[in-house]
Structure 1
Amino acid sequence: MRNAEHAPLFRHLHTQGVLRIANAWDAGSARLIESLGAPAIATTSAGMAWSCGYADGDQLPFDHLLAQAGEIVRVLRVPLSVDVEGGYSDDPRVVAEHVLRLAAIGVVGINLEDGAGAPEVLGAKIEAIRHALAAHGLDIYVNARTDVYLRGLAPPEQRVEMVLARAARYREAGADGLFVPGVTEAAQIGAIASGTPLPLNVMLRPALPALDALEALGVRRLSAGADLPEAVFAYVGELARGFLHDGRAVAGARMDYGAINALFGER
């Protein structure tokens, strides 16, 4: 079974060095990234929502997400983690059911966030997920995302303390990793990494320390987030604008038709 095969591998990828996640948003982007040597794929909630014609922020119907995840699993040979935002429900039992359905198709990791909600809410969701997975003999790496930095939930001087308090709560509930998007200062990254046994995941930002410095600070995962789909939208918008203006192709790099088609040949 795919979940049983890939779950231990995905966990192992968080134990050494920095796992670089160039987040995908559909089967095509996932297969392209895999072909470049990625040892695992994770989705971006923003990119997946946009590709389905929805705004980011728990707006994507879960059945759409499940269908997209299934198509990604179909084309990949490496482990897949899916960003499920807040779980697409306030009810921990419903969130757990969603995660069970993802695990059943071969997904081996999730990102689950607290957003602006109370940490008790995310803790309850993680506990429900753990109980449900255990009952069905399935495994999912739960990457608990806290938005303390991203949403400015505490004054700057109190953010490390708040993150670590939430990390302890989420670990007790059954989380496997800690995702802290928005943190960029080396001293704060180091304090968070050393203050929790959970593998630390940070998100790409211009002010973020270099990769080797992140590894030395204790970071175990680096996510590109929505950076790739944002770049794609910008580039496609430029090409389309030029074509609509004068009916000609805008100069720029193109991937060869045959090379793209070959990505989806018989696997």
Structure 2
Amino acid sequence: MRKERECQLIKQMIGFLGGEEGSSEDRDELLIIWRGLVNRRPAGLLSEEYLACEKEFLTDYHQKHQRSLADCEKTLHPNILLYYGDICHLQVDAIVNAANSELLGCFLPNHGCIDNAIHFYAGAELRNACAELMKKQGHKEPVGQVKVTKGYALPTQLIFHTVGPRIPEGKSPSPIRENLLRQCYLACLNRAREEGLATLAFCAISTGEFGYPKKEAAALAVQTVDDWLSETAYPLTVIFTLYTEEDAIYYEKELREEEKS
């Protein structure tokens, strides 16, 4: 019954997006309902009808919202760019998802975390792929490593899933947690080189629900990426995606102010 309801909702949305009928408020309401249903859906068999409906909607959605390197802004580092917007819209070789240790995405309906958005806008096949990876692994995903899946409906070719460290509320990052966050970035950078990628977009790992202070995380991320690019000389273009004004302030300070003496 739930799957039938989902298909019905998607068909309605496709009709609205195609200009058949309905208002923007109707579309927004349907999207919220559908996304909540998809968020709660466990990994498992997906009907061909559902997948066809989902693919039609997501293909149309991404065609309208897709962004490229031309939409990113330059920084003092020739191989580091800033992107002000949703990482789900970027057409790059790989994007980084700040995952949880279950690696199955966020199950909270319409939650605002990046894990929730990536799983929804990639399509339901992503959760199944992650479930298969975890089944083979046989245990939760450790902090500071990376798993790779296809991008599915997203404009990106690949998704790098990494679990960052959690910081208790009101606490400063310990040296151990600083190193774990650094390992998240290094694992993704090294995997990008292994895959022969040219572009990699990072979200602000651990700074949302996991509580890592944004200022400290930005400084660590930029230093880690800058050092890696200098040491490896690998021709990778790294994009830091800035979804909030606070993120923008800290990354701009690190990457766009005049070089210090």
* Structure 1 length-normalised TM: 0.36
* Structure 2 length-normalised TM: 0.37
